[in-house]
Amino acid sequence: MFPLFSLLPATSTDFPAIRGLIRLVQINPIDLDWQRFVIAVTPEGEMIGCGQVKPHGDGSRELASIAVTPPWRKQGVARAIIEYLTANEPGTLYLTCRANLGPFYTRFGFKAIEQQEMPPYFRRISRLMKALGVLHVVGERLLVMKRENLENKASGES
C-alpha cells in the first residue's frame, strides 16, 4: 500500500500554499516563516497540511499554524504534523487554540494553563483577545496550553 502523504520540511516555493491554507482555515497569519514549517504532501505533490514551531521574543516556543485542507481532515494529517514537530522540540512548548480544540491537544501532552502561568507573549495575546472579544463573537474562547519540558520531566525536575 502506498503512503497517503509524506511530511517534508517546507521550501520557499511552498510559502504561497502555506499562506493560502492558513487563510483558508482562518488562523493567525502573523509571523509565517516558511523555514520553520513542515508540510504534509500527497504522492502527487499536493500540499494538504502544515505546521510550525514559532519562537517568541520572551524565549517561549509555540506549536502554531497547524492547518489541514478540509478534504484531508480526520485522516491523521494534523496528528502526524504535531507528532513530528513535538518530537523535534523536546523543550517546553505552548500553543493557543479555540477552547473546543483543547481535548485534541491533550492527546499530545498539552494542558490548559491560567494567565499567571503564561510567558509574557501569551499573557499579552490572551489579554488582547479577551479585550477585543474576537472569539466571543462566534461563541468561543481562547485557550493557552503548555506541554512541559520533556527533558526536565525525565530527570525528575519540573
Average pLDDT along the chain, 158 residues, taken 10 residues at a time: 84 96 89 94 95 94 95 94 92 91 94 92 82 56 83 47
What pLDDT shows up at residue 155?
45
What pLDDT shows up at residue 134?
53
- Please, what is the Cα angle at 99 between 98 and 101, to 5 degrees? 75
The pTM of this model reads 0.85
Tens-digit pLDDT profile for residues 15-56: 999 999 999 998 888 889 999 999 999 999 999 999 999 999
What homologous superfamily does CATH list for 6-154?
A: Gcn5-related N-acetyltransferase (GNAT) (3.40.630.30)
What pLDDT shows up at residue 154?
47
